[in-house]
A and B are shown apart, each in its own frame.
Chain A
Amino acid sequence: MSKAGRQKPARSKRLILRVLVNSILGALCLFFLLGWYLWHQSIVAEEQRLATVAERLGLEAESAILDIRGLLERLNRADIEPCSDLHIQWMQQEAIARPYIRSIGYWRAIKRQCGAGFVQGAILTPPEASRIYDNGVIAWWPSPETAVGDVELFLMRFGDHDVAIDPRLLLDTTALDQQAGLWVENLLLVSSPTEALLPEPSTLEPGLTIDSDRQLIVSRFSLNTVFPMDVVAVQPSGQLVERYLPSLITAAVLGILLIVLWVLAVFRVSQRQLSFSAELTNAIKNGNITVAYQPIVDLSTGRCHGAEALARWQREDGEIISPDLFIPVAEKSNSIHKLTLLVIKRVVEEMGQLLATHDQFSININLSAQDLEHPLIALELKHILDSAKLPASAIKFEITERALVNHEDSRKLISKLRRRGHQMAIDDFGTGYSSLSYLETFELDTLKLDKAFVDAIETHAVTSSVIVHIIEMAKSLELDMVAEGIESAHQVQWLANNGVQRGQGYYYSKPLTAAEFLKYHAKQR
């Protein structure tokens, strides 16, 4: 056993290391997962932005062309005298209303009769139409033959009217940082900027393409209402990195910071826990656990009949640790059984004399759930009592409700201890989850009323309190009752009146050291 104790520090270090490595790995996984997710999201956002740009440009160009076609149809249909003031005025208004229209003309065959816009005298008659559609629309894509000045115009004619369009204004790329181009029937109509090298739409899948060779994200949007039209928008993927890098770096730095903090926190906590647990194990091994005794008093006579033994751990720095804190740690580190045996030994050492000489006197010792499952505890207990020549009745055991939950081993041990002559008390009753019927199946002698119920006597209308029912229940099970946490005469009165035999609490005495307790007990005489 001492050998295992010596190995402990090495094992602890390994454990800490393992916890650390695990937490770092976990944090890194999380970090990269988050990073990947952010990166992925930013790419998706960027792609969507680009796709939206291509779609918007396409729809805008299309609506402009549809608008022009509608205008041509209206002009042709109108019953109006050609080249009358009204006719010319109308054409002027329509031309001014649209930024992309450079002129509107009225023709007879190939003679421009009149019109509006800047092409007053110059008549564009390109030698070959780019496309004559079945509906009669003729289109001349921008070419040197359709140029006026430096601008190659896009001409559309329907019936006797034609429109000259500035294709640059079909693609509104103001406030755009992408490059974009508008194709009509696979012919580049306009691009922005003019010198942009854009991939042909015919070489692209509709939607988004990632050109990793040239580091480009390319979006193609196609529509086919008047003409087959394509918009290709291109964005260097480097731009994406530029745009999102600052936020990614910020996120990364923050993430790393959080990881460091997290790992530190895990390290500190695990180290503390481990050292705490190791220290406790050590304290138990070296017998640095003391026992305090809280007197248990007959409520009607006020005489002390026994005491509850409470383990006390004073750390090397003098700090006294509450059992509420170290008992769970001892349970976790599997040293509770040693702690219990230590307490029993201490009690026998300190109170052996008293117990031997007062056969009505007994000390209550707490057993944890783990103790009840320990195969050797009964044997070791017998050995201790036998060598001190004490009867089993000198030691009563307290077990918590939780310890009773469904364990055949516990049930067997309780039965075994009782057969030897130990009385069994149930502690903290009413705070757990066992039912009366379940409690009945255990062999018990005493029920300890929890302080919470006793407190209620002082503050609430007691008659409606749970304590009344618990007392009734204890009576029906023929259990003795010990009330815990008594703080006032009023409580003593009430409890005694309701048939509770004994009690403990600050009203009588706080937990005392062995010497103090012996003095306290002696005074009773």
Chain B
Amino acid sequence: MLAKAVSQEPEPLTPPTVGFYLDVQNASLLPLAQHGLQLTRLKDHIHLIIPGAATFDTNSASLTPAAQEVLDLLSSLLLDYDKTLIAISGHSDSLGDPNYNQRLSEQRADAVGQYLNNKGVLPRRLVILGLGSSLPLVDNDSPENRAINRRVELELWPLVSNTVQNN
């Protein structure tokens, strides 16, 4: 996916500037942390976790007004920092029907992707995945933990020329 996105990017990043790019982008995303998003700068990409509870109504894939506000800010930053692939993955808890959970997680990831696309983020930068309850952050053994596991994750992968990335 990443290789394809890089090939479609007219001006990909050069390897020496990737670190700088990630640092600066990470700094620009810091205001999102104030809206409850978890922001982590990893070695080669930036990881964002959007908690499900404030973003969607229960059992729904429609975005709450608060979530739209956050995504407005996010989309403007993604437009400024356009040299990244945005992998959006939906996650659910393990309670209930796995198929339903899978479908809901897909719908939720898609809702975020659609919203960003509507705000101008190019579709070629977006990868959308529904992962159901397959990748829990914590054990699904309490209501609090299950709430943590219901989420949408964004991975911002820099588009770097001439590199082989495994994803």
> What is A's interface to B at a CB cutoff of 8 Å?
107-110, 125-129, 132, 134-138, 157, 159
Between-chain CB contacts (< 8 Å), 22 pairs: A109-B21, A109-B25, A109-B80, A110-B13, A110-B17, A126-B20, A127-B17, A127-B18, A128-B19, A128-B23, A129-B19, A129-B20, A129-B24, A132-B26, A132-B41, A134-B30, A136-B27, A136-B28, A136-B30, A138-B24, A157-B24, A157-B27
Partner pick for A127 among B19, B41, B82, B83, CB 8 A cutoff: B19
Task: Decide yes or no whether B31 CB sits under 8 A from chain A.
Answer: yes
Decide: A132 and B33 in contact? CB cutoff 8 A.
Answer: no
Decide: A108 and B24 in contact? CB cutoff 8 A.
Answer: no
In the complex, what distance in Å separates the CA atom of A138 from the CA atom of B17? Answer: 15
Q: Please give me the residue from chain B that is nearest to A110 by CB atom.
A: B21
Interface residues contributed by chain B, number (CB under 8 Å): 21
Partner pick for A137 among B27, B31, B41, B80, CB 8 A cutoff: B27
Question: A82 → chain B, closest Cβ, in Å?
Answer: 12
Q: Please give me the residue from chain A that is nearest to B31 by CB atom.
A: A136
Task: Decide yes or no whether B81 CB sits under 8 A from chain A.
Answer: yes
Which residues of the partner chain B approach A110 to less than 8 Å between Cβ atoms? Answer: 13, 17, 20-21, 24, 83
Within 8 A of A (CB), among B61-115: 80-83
Decide: A109 and B83 in contact? CB cutoff 8 A.
Answer: yes
Q: Which of A108, A109, A127, A138 has the most CB of B within 10 A?
A: A109
Task: Decide yes or no whether B16 CB sits under 8 A from chain A.
Answer: yes
Partner pick for B19 among A126, A136, A137, CB 8 A cutoff: A126
Decide: B17 and A132 in contact? CB cutoff 8 A.
Answer: no
Which residues of the partner chain A approach B13 to less than 8 Å between Cβ atoms? Answer: 110
Decide: B28 and A159 in contact? CB cutoff 8 A.
Answer: yes
Majority-rule SS of B interface residues: helix
Decide: B30 and A127 in contact? CB cutoff 8 A.
Answer: no
Decide: B27 and A109 in contact? CB cutoff 8 A.
Answer: no
In the complex, what distance in Å separates the CA atom of A129 from the CA atom of B23? Answer: 6
Which residues of the partner chain B approach A128 to less than 8 Å between Cβ atoms? Answer: 19, 23
Question: A128 → chain B, closest Cβ, in Å?
Answer: 5
In the complex, what distance in Å separates the CA atom of A107 from the CA atom of B28? Answer: 12
Which residues of the partner chain B approach A132 to less than 8 Å between Cβ atoms? Answer: 23, 26-27, 30, 41
Question: A127 → chain B, closest Cβ, in Å?
Answer: 3
In the complex, what distance in Å separates the CA atom of A132 from the CA atom of B27? Answer: 6
Question: B25 → chain A, closest Cβ, in Å?
Answer: 7
Which residues of the partner chain A approach B27 to less than 8 Å between Cβ atoms? Answer: 129, 132, 136-138, 157
Partner pick for B20 among A125, A134, A136, CB 8 A cutoff: A125
Decide: B16 and A127 in contact? CB cutoff 8 A.
Answer: yes
- Are A109 and B82 also in contact (CB < 8 A) when A132-B41, A138-B24, A157-B24 are? yes
Decide: A108 and B80 in contact? CB cutoff 8 A.
Answer: yes
Question: A173 → chain B, closest Cβ, in Å?
Answer: 31
Decide: B30 and A125 in contact? CB cutoff 8 A.
Answer: no
Decide: A138 and B23 in contact? CB cutoff 8 A.
Answer: yes
In the complex, what distance in Å separates the CA atom of A157 from the CA atom of B149? Answer: 35
In the complex, what distance in Å separates the CA atom of A355 from the CA atom of B114? Answer: 147
Question: A77 → chain B, closest Cβ, in Å?
Answer: 14
In the complex, what distance in Å separates the CA atom of A138 from the CA atom of B30? Answer: 11
Q: Please give me the residue from chain B that is nearest to A127 by CB atom.
A: B19
Decide: B26 and A127 in contact? CB cutoff 8 A.
Answer: no
In the complex, what distance in Å separates the CA atom of A191 from the CA atom of B63? Answer: 54
Decide: B20 and A127 in contact? CB cutoff 8 A.
Answer: yes
Question: B29 → chain A, closest Cβ, in Å?
Answer: 9
Which residues of the partner chain A approach B20 to less than 8 Å between Cβ atoms? Answer: 110, 125-127, 129
Within 8 A of A (CB), among B1-42: 13, 16-21, 23-28, 30-31, 33, 41
Which residues of the partner chain B approach A134 to less than 8 Å between Cβ atoms? Answer: 30, 33
Q: Which of B17, B27, B31 has the most CB of A within 10 A?
A: B27
In the complex, what distance in Å separates the CA atom of A126 from the CA atom of B25? Answer: 14
Which residues of the partner chain A approach B81 to less than 8 Å between Cβ atoms? Answer: 109
Known A109-B83, A110-B17, A129-B27; further 13 A-B contacts with Cβ < 8 A: A108-B80, A109-B24, A109-B82, A110-B24, A125-B16, A125-B17, A125-B21, A127-B17, A128-B19, A132-B41, A136-B27, A137-B27, A138-B24
Decide: B25 and A135 in contact? CB cutoff 8 A.
Answer: no
Question: B142 → chain A, closest Cβ, in Å?
Answer: 29
Which residues of the partner chain B approach A127 to less than 8 Å between Cβ atoms? Answer: 16-20
